[in-house]
Structure 1
Amino acid sequence: MILVTGGLGMIGAHTARALVDLGHEVVVTGHRRIEVPSFLAGRVTVEPLDVTDRGAVLAVGDRHDISDIVHLAGSIPGQDPVAFLRTDTTGLLNAMDAARTWGVRRFAVASSLGVYVGRAETCWHEELALPTADLPHLIVAFKKAVEPLTTHGLAGTGVQPVVLRIGSIWGPLMDPESPFHPIPPYISAALRGEEPQPPHADDGGDSCYAPDAGRAIALLTTADTLRHDTYNVSSGRPFTHRELADAVAATIPSLRLDLLPGRRHGPGTDPCLDITRLTQDTGFTPAFDIAAAVADYVAWRAENAR
């Protein structure tokens, strides 16, 4: 049985669905929100859990025979950065403690594409040295620390760490007005019959649809062998806002969409994540391009608030 902490959040739920689709039994945890999305209803076991409670985390192993852990649970920073770091570090350490106590095979943990901030390249791969740089968000700072904490914390235990450098993910279950991703608010405005704020046509980047991200994580969790302990998780396919607008217009033909010319900050190229390592070790390729993702998301939103 595979444990997915934070398995009722966007990435966690899609990971759980992919694991079930691969034929695995899955336990998902949720803390403040424990509503089960329709695509998981009756397919997973749900454990309400505060991952900062070590005893409660370890007790999950008394009820289930856990073979692997995907640790995706996390919080959003408030006014006190130390409180956020204490909460998420405690959750990480408790999950690793459980992995060692139960003797699981793999412990996959969420990092972020933000660890590459400061690199001049536009195609980021796992062998790049991570620079010392000002980071854009406290969450990214924590994710960068997660990597050595996990690999050193599990060294010599027999538990294989799998660091997931997760890219820019969007899709069903994401806050439709999220400040962290431009696509859901753009589509939400279109669904309200409004003309979205026009973006620059040639801006964009590597953005992965949540079902693809979940499937990539599931494949990394269940692969017979992995040759590395760090993997980029994304589409590996940069898109532009022009392609996004075309996809939305094709799905909602009555809508008129404007675009600003060029790029907001002048000539250049948006970075993307190189997923060669992921593809070679798991066979993963994205199922959704931007047009297919927009069509799927609009259909989902027709019956779901987020």
Structure 2
Amino acid sequence: MILVTGGLGMIGAHTARALVDLGHEVVVTTHRRTEVPSFLASRVTVEALDVTDRDAFLALAGRHDISDIVHLAGSIPDKDPVGFFRTETIGLLNALEAARAWGVRRFAVAGSLGVYIGRSESRWHEELALPAAPLPHLIVAFKKAVEPLTTHGLQGSGVQPVMLRIGSIWGPLMDPESPFNPIPPYINAVLRSEQPRPLYADDGGDSCYAPDAGRAIALLMTAETLRHNTYNVSSGRPATNRELADALQAITPGLRLDLLPGRQNGPGDDPYLDITRLTHDTGFTPAFDVAAAVADYVAWRADNPR
């Protein structure tokens, strides 16, 4: 059985779905969310768990035979950065202690494409040295720290660490007004029959639809062997706002979306994650291009608030 912490969140739920689709038993933990998405109903075991509660975390092994852990649970910072870092670190350390105590095969943890910030390249791959650079958000800062904490925390345990450098993910279950990705709010405005804020046509960069991201993580957890401990998780190609607008117009009769010409910051390329390593080791290729992702998301939102 594979444990997915934060398994009712956007990435966690799609990871759990993909694991079940591959024939695995899955237990997901949730702390604040209680609603199980329709695509997981009666397919996974749900455990209410605050991952900062060490005893409750370790007690999961008394109810489930857990073979692997995907640690995706996380919180949103408030005005107290120290409190945020304390919560996230305690949760991670409890998950690492559980991995060691239970002798699991693999322990995967959510990182971020933000670890590459400061690199001048537009195609970011895992062999790039990570620069010491100012980071834009507390979440990115913690996810950069996750990598050495996990590597050293599992040293000598026999548990394989898998660092997931997750790209810009969007899709079903994401807050439609999320400040972390411009795509859901843009589509949400269209669904309200409003003209969304104009975007620059050639801006964009890394983008991956949530079902693809979940399937990529599931393949990493279930591959017979992995040659590396760090993997980019995304679509492997840059996307533009022009593609987004074209996809919405193709499925919405009479819709005309205004785009600003060019790029907001002038000529250049927006960075994106290279997934050559992921594809080589798992066979993963994305099932959704921009058009397919937009059509699927609009159909999902017809019956779901997020």
Report if TM-score (shorter chain) is over 0.5. yes
Counterpart residue identity of residue 76, structure 1: I
- Are positions 1:68 and 2:68 aligned together? yes
The residue number in structure 2 matching 1:210 is: 210
| 1:214-248 Cα deviation digits (max 9, x unpaired) | 00000001100000000000001111111110000
The residue number in structure 2 matching 1:22 is: 22
Counterpart residue identity of residue 81, structure 1: P
The residue number in structure 2 matching 1:197 is: 197
Q: Which runs of 4+ in 1 moved over 2 A?
A: none
The residue number in structure 1 matching 2:258 is: 258
Shift of 1:42: 0.3
The residue number in structure 2 matching 1:290 is: 290
SS of equivalent residue, structure 1 residue 231: strand
Q: Is the 8 A contact 1:193 1:255 kept in 2?
A: no
The residue number in structure 2 matching 1:11 is: 11
Shift of 1:29: 0.4
The residue number in structure 1 matching 2:279 is: 279
CA distance in 2, matches of 1:253, 1:196: 16
Shift of 1:34: 1.9
Q: Which moved more, 1:276-285 or 1:249-258?
A: 249-258
Q: Is the 8 A contact 1:106 1:162 kept in 2?
A: yes
Counterpart residue identity of residue 166, structure 1: I
CA distance in 1, matches of 2:100, 2:34: 26
CA distance in 1, matches of 2:239, 2:207: 7
Normalising by structure 1, we get a TM-score of: 0.99
| 1:97-152 Cα deviation digits (max 9, x unpaired) | 00000000000000000000000000000010000000010000000000000011
CA distance in 2, matches of 1:139, 1:219: 25
Counterpart residue identity of residue 274, structure 2: D
Counterpart residue identity of residue 179, structure 2: P
Normalising by structure 2, we get a TM-score of: 0.99
Counterpart residue identity of residue 283, structure 1: G
Shift of 1:254: 2.4
CA distance in 2, matches of 1:252, 1:40: 29
The residue number in structure 2 matching 1:241 is: 241
| 1:248-272 Cα deviation digits (max 9, x unpaired) | 0011122221100000010010001
Shift of 1:39: 0.3
Q: Is the 8 A contact 1:195 1:255 kept in 2?
A: no
Counterpart residue identity of residue 158, structure 1: G
The residue number in structure 2 matching 1:185 is: 185
| 1:269-299 Cα deviation digits (max 9, x unpaired) | 0001010000000000000000000000000
CA distance in 2, matches of 1:34, 1:62: 23
| Identical columns (%) | 82
The residue number in structure 2 matching 1:47 is: 47
Counterpart residue identity of residue 11, structure 1: I
SS of equivalent residue, structure 1 residue 109: strand
- Are positions 1:121 and 2:105 aligned together? no
Q: Is the 8 A contact 1:245 1:257 kept in 2?
A: yes
- Total equivalences in the alignment: 306
Shift of 1:35: 1.1
CA distance in 2, matches of 1:58, 1:147: 22
Q: Is the 8 A contact 1:68 1:104 kept in 2?
A: yes
Q: Is the 8 A contact 1:26 1:44 kept in 2?
A: yes
Counterpart residue identity of residue 205, structure 2: G
Q: After superposition, where does 1:91-102 map in structure 2 within 5 Å?
A: 91-102=91-102
Shift of 1:206: 1.5
Give the RMSD, CA atoms, in angstroms. Answer: 0.5
